[in-house]
Amino acid sequence: MVAYKAAQTARFLKHPESQFRAFLLYGPDAGLVSDRGAALAQKLVSTSEPEAEVIRLDERDLAQEPDRLAIEARTLSMFAGTKVVQVRGGSGLETALAELIDTPMEAHLIVEAGNLRPSSKLRKLFEAARQAVTLPCYSDAARDLGPLIDEELAKTGVAIATDAKADLVALLGSDMALARSEIAKLALYAGKDRTIEAADVEAVVGDSSDVALDALAEAVADGAAERVLNQFDRLAAAGTGAQAGLTALGRYFGRLHRVVISLEAGGNAKSAIAGLRPPPSFKQRDALTRQASRWNRMALQTAIDAIQNTTAQTRRRPELERALTERALLMICQMSR
């Protein structure tokens, strides 16, 4: 029986253990589960040589072809090194998995589900299987640093604007000691009887390369081709590699994907964006709200696939890294229209 705690899931996704062939990700935030499922699939693809093939199935696919899951999991890929089969949970999935979960599989199997109780048949199935692991996905409450910021600034008599506080929360990590140090440095920079503004946060705590990478991703999601090329050139001139741009783009589109999933499920943009971890900056919240109305879930998944494929291509052909990345940026930019 292998069942990780929520706090261990993020660490596991960075280094998935090779003895596992089946992974169950579950939790109340569908966007977070989807995001982590995509991250796990990308990790498995990147460690496969040759590159793995990703097969995505949902409840409708399994209803039309009940044997499809077993066939995909047990057969070799015709053109790739292995297969990664992603399944979004649905009714009747336990029956299909019961006959498969503890048998030899050629593919890696990723199952994404909702918030499962300990008594859930699906959880019990994975927990009992030798080659399976359960990975709960819950937002990290430790990253809500608002109270810590208020507490530390109250000691210095320095106030902070609402948008500046949102930016600061987005930039601080979960290391409390380091966070306190950064807040103290910011208070010292601002001086007494001053209100900390967003520009102060960016100057003291913000990483200029991260800000530039986020600006590139926002331009792509906006479909602003000229802005994309200008920002890409600036990053290159500053010595920031194309791989960093692709990583930032994948992270940004993953967050936008979670917002759109919530919207299509009947939620609203404000609450979906507020639930992102780490929280987006004040400016980024406006951009995500705007872009969520331009994109749908299917288009975003296509964009994320393109980012992953381009990342793999640039690793195989580093001499073409810039050209391949620029092509992907413009292609995704065109999709937003």
Residue extents of the structural domains in the chain: 6-138, 142-204, 208-335
The C-alpha angle with vertex 177 and arms to 142 and 187, in degrees rounded to 5, equals: 100
Paired strand residues for 57 = 87
Assigned CATH topology for domain 208-335: Zinc Finger, Delta Prime; domain 3 (1.20.272)
Q: Percentage helix, strand, coil, to 5, in the chain?
A: 60, 10, 30
153 to 13, 169, 227: CA distances (angstroms): 35, 13, 37
Q: What is the DSSP letter of 15?
A: S
State the chain's maximal CA–CA distance in angstroms. Answer: 69
185-214 CB burial, b ≥16 within 10 A, e <16: ebbeebeeeeebebebbbebbbeeeeebbb
What token pair was written down for 210? Answer: 């991260």
Which spans in 26-161 are helix H?
Answer: 30-46, 59-64, 68-74, 93-98, 121-128, 146-156
Question: Do the domains 142-204 and 6-138 match in fold?
Answer: no
Query: How far is it, in rounded angstroms, from Cα 220 to Cα 224?
Result: 6
The pLDDT, as a whole number, for residue 174 is 53
229-247 CB burial, b ≥16 within 10 A, e <16: bebbeebeeeebebebbbe
User: Omega of the bond prior to 278 within 30 degrees of 0, cis?
Assistant: yes
Check if the beta carbon of residue 87 is closer than 8 Å to that of residue 113. Answer: no
Burial of 228 (0-12, 13-18, 19+ CB in 10 A): buried
Query: How far is it, in rounded angstroms, from Cα 106 to Cα 104?
Result: 7
The pLDDT, as a whole number, for residue 141 is 43
The pLDDT, as a whole number, for residue 295 is 93
Q: How many CB atoms lie within 10 A of CB 159?
A: 15
The pLDDT, as a whole number, for residue 269 is 80
Check if the beta carbon of residue 72 is closer than 8 Å to that of residue 108. Answer: no
The pLDDT, as a whole number, for residue 252 is 92
Tell me if the domain spanning 6-138 has CATH number 3.40.50.300: yes
What token pair was written down for 127? Answer: 């927990």
How do the pLDDT tens digits run along the chain, 337 residues long? 567 777 788 888 888 888 899 999 988 777 778 878 888 988 888 776 666 788 888 777 777 888 888 888 888 877 666 789 999 876 568 888 888 888 888 899 999 988 888 788 888 999 999 899 999 887 654 455 788 888 889 888 899 998 888 778 767 655 566 677 788 888 888 887 789 988 888 777 765 556 778 889 999 999 999 889 988 987 887 677 788 889 889 989 999 999 999 888 888 888 888 888 777 777 788 889 999 988 998 999 999 999 999 988 988 888 898 999 999 999 999 988 6
The pLDDT, as a whole number, for residue 110 is 94
Q: Can you tell me which residue has the tokens 């971890």? A: 277
Q: What is the CATH number of domain 142-204?
A: 1.10.8
The pLDDT, as a whole number, for residue 319 is 85
Q: How many CB atoms lie within 10 A of CB 74?
A: 14
Return the half-sphere exposure (C-beta side, CA atoms, 13 A cut-off) of residue 304: 25
Q: Which residues contact 334 (CB under 8 A, 6 or more apart)?
A: 223, 225
Q: Which residues contact 88 (CB under 8 A, 6 or more apart)?
A: 57, 58, 59, 112, 113
